[in-house]
Structure formats: structure tokens, C-alpha cells
Amino acid sequence: MVPVNSPLFNGNEKKYLNECIDTGWVSSEGPFVKRFENDMAQYVGRRFATACANGSAAIDIAVKALGLKKGDEVIMPSFTIISCAQSLVTQGLIPVFVDSHFDTFNMIVDDIEASITPKTKAIMIVHIFGLTVDVDPILRIAKKFNLKIIEDAAEMHGQEYKQKKCGSFGDISLFSFYPNKQITTGEGGMVLTDSVELDTKAKELRNLCFTANRFVHEELGWNYRMTNMQAALGVAQLEEIEAIVEKKRYIGNVYNALLKDIDVINLPIAKKDYCENIYWVYAITLKNRCSKTAKEVMEELGELKIGTRPFFYPMHKQPVFKKMGLFLDDYLPNSELLYEKGFYIPSGIALTMAQMEEVSDAMHKVLI
């Protein structure tokens, strides 16, 4: 089987993990946590960072740190992972979904202003699959309407928008370090900001809102701490980031060349004027003239031992939200079509040339 992803540990991972075992520092109190936070903040170009348990936890922290009030509206794409919408809904906030471009997979910035109401208090930017959202117009809208910005850069380590690192935009931003990401800590996440107040809040929320008066709590948070062992892995992985980003783009370019003659599929866009695709995943959509559905193509590729994953099921269609009586009238055609037509193929950094050729051969068998 060519797996859809497998991580690569080529650097100091074992050495740093051994240090955790040898010193006994395995909890979140260990020194690698601070070091990983400092390294990430410096890499991304932010003042502060808070390491936490996973990317979904990072969204919870980022959203809550902003101090929005129950019933406030947050504009976000429907075409994303449940973590983004779940965080808002469970905190009593109202997601307002905008549709996404069929070719970049990212939110349609031109649709944002029409979704703004007096209750709108924030916009959640989520970069999807490898190209960034067009950030500048969103920053202008946020300024005009006095809205907060959360930047979900979970998939974007090393990616840049107009030569500026993803994770450096808006009031507060976040990453995931799940093993399918550019760099991994097994499970892990991080919240970044330039604001002392938001940073203080994020660190309180990560740690159950303990106060100086221990075991006396003024507010509720979570135990979303990252362990020293996770952070040790993160420090070692971040040391390799340049090579990892290069490998990601290499994989994308190899697939672009290998698959370009399959005329029933759209290959991912290689470049926009504001960013170059980092191919977090190599995401493909089927053209209308393709006689097969994405589900059928994924099944047939599976029979040929090629791992695939479907695209996100849009947030406004989620049964869990329908059962809550939410988003009943939403219709966002591109987000719905992306789920029907899209899938991604093996894209992890451990992928070999032989494996990419195997994937390409299988794709040709199934789609030509």
C-alpha cells in the first residue's frame, strides 16, 4: 500500500526524545515546550506562542481568548474541518459560512462583506490544502468593520502569503502538528499572537485557568497542555523545515508532470500571484466529463493499493448541526461540489519517486 501519509524523522528527534527520558522531564513543565514555542514564534515572526495538545485545542483556545460574547457571529469557510465550526458552536458563537473557490479550495473573499451583520465580530481565515487564502483584502475588511481575525494555519507550516509566513496574520493564529502536517509532534498544536493580553489568556486557557491562588478558579479553561516529549519532537522537526518544504514542493511538481495528461481531472493550481502551492496534500478534483465519482475513483485506487482521502464534507451540511437546527437554509454550491468531486492522493514527505510513479500508474489505469 502507498500510504496517504507517513512522517519522516531524519534529524534530532531520537536525541531530544532521549533527553526527555534521561532527565525525567516528560510533562509540560519540561524545557522543550518553551524552546519549541520560542522557535516557532521566531520562525513564523510572532512575539508569543502557546504550545497545546492539538490543532483543535488551539482553535478552542484562540477563539475563547478573543473574549467574544454568546451569539456573536464569526465568518468562516464551510469547506474546512469540523474543529473550526465546532469550536464556535460549543462556545455559543454563530458560524456564518461563506463558499469557497472550486479551484483554490479557499474561501471566496468577495463574499465576506455581504455576510457581515451588526453581530459579526470576527473572521476565521482557514488556508486549505496548500494555497493560502488571499489575506490582504480580508485584513482590509476586518479593519473597516472592526472585526477580529483568527488565522487557522494548521496545514501551512512553512507556507508564505506575499513572502510573509502563514501563522503571522490577524490577532491570533494557530497550527496543528498531527503527523500528516509538514512538521509533527504526534499530536500537538500551537497558538500564536503578538498581543501580550491574548498570549496571557491563551496560556491560562491551556492550563485550566489556574490562578496564583492555586485551585481557586475565576474562569474555565481546559487541560490542553503539550508534553515535553511532543515538544522535543517539534523542536527537532522544525530544524528540518526548509528541507521539508522543499520536499513538499518537489512532490507536487513531480505529480504535476506525471498526471498532466489525464484530462478528466483538475490538478492543483501551482501558483497564484500571492503564493506558491506548498501541496500540504496533493488535491485533485474530477471534471464534469469524468464518468466516475470521486468515491468510485478512491475505491478503485484502493484496490490498486493506493491510499486516498476524501475532501471535507462542508460544515453547513453536517448532520450534527442540522440536528441542532443550524444552517438549515444554507446552500454553498462549490463547497458541496468539492466534496462530491475531490480527493487527495499520497502526499507525505516520506514518499519516494518509485511510490509516486506507482500512484501515477494507478491513476492512469483508473482514469484513462
Ligand X SMILES: Cc1ncc(COP(=O)(O)O)c(C=O)c1O
User: Which three-class secondary structure state does DSSP give residue 164?
Assistant: strand
Q: What is the DSSP letter of 304?
A: T
Q: Are 278 and 306 in contact (CB under 8 A)?
A: no
Residue 152 interacts with ligand X (CB under 6 A): yes or no:
yes
Pairing, β 172-176 against β 189-193? antiparallel
**DSSP H or E run through 213:** none
Q: What are phi and psi of 190, to 5 degrees?
A: -155, 140
Residue 52 interacts with ligand X (CB under 6 A): yes or no:
no
Binding ligand X (rule: CB under 6 A), the pick from 130, 158, 189, 346 is: 189
Cα–Cα distance measured from residue 156 to residue 159, given in angstroms and rounded to the nearest whole number: 5
Please tell me the number of Cα atoms within 13 Å of 240 on its side-chain side: 18
The nearest distance, CB 189 to ligand X, in angstroms, is 5
Residue 151 interacts with ligand X (CB under 6 A): yes or no:
no
Cβ neighbours around 248 below 10 Å, total: 25
Interacting stretch for ligand X, rule CB under 6 A, among 8-16, 104-112, 150-158, 197-205?
A: 150-158
Interacting stretch for ligand X, rule CB under 6 A, among 76-84, 92-100, 235-243, 358-366?
A: 76-84
Residue 81 interacts with ligand X (CB under 6 A): yes or no:
yes
Find the helix packing angle between 31-44 and 228-239, rounded to 10°: 40
From residue 110 to residue 129, what is the string marking binding to ligand X with x (rule CB under 6 A)? ----------------x---
Cα–Cα distance measured from residue 83 to residue 86, given in angstroms and rounded to the nearest whole number: 5
- Interacting residues with ligand X between 262 and 301 (CB under 6 A): none
Residue 154 interacts with ligand X (CB under 6 A): yes or no:
yes
Cα–Cα distance measured from residue 53 to residue 51, given in angstroms and rounded to the nearest whole number: 7
Q: Closer to ligand X by CB, 39 or 152: give it.
A: 152
**DSSP H or E run through 288:** none
In the bound complex, which residue of the shown chain has the CB atom lying closest to ligand X? 55
The nearest distance, CB 293 to ligand X, in angstroms, is 23
Bridge partners of residue 76, in order along the sequence:
97
Residue 28 interacts with ligand X (CB under 6 A): yes or no:
no
Size of the site for ligand X (CB under 6 A): 14
The nearest distance, CB 24 to ligand X, in angstroms, is 27
The nearest distance, CB 275 to ligand X, in angstroms, is 16
Q: Which residues in this chain contact ligand X in the complex, by CB under 6 A?
A: 54-56, 80-81, 83-84, 126, 152, 154-155, 176, 178, 189
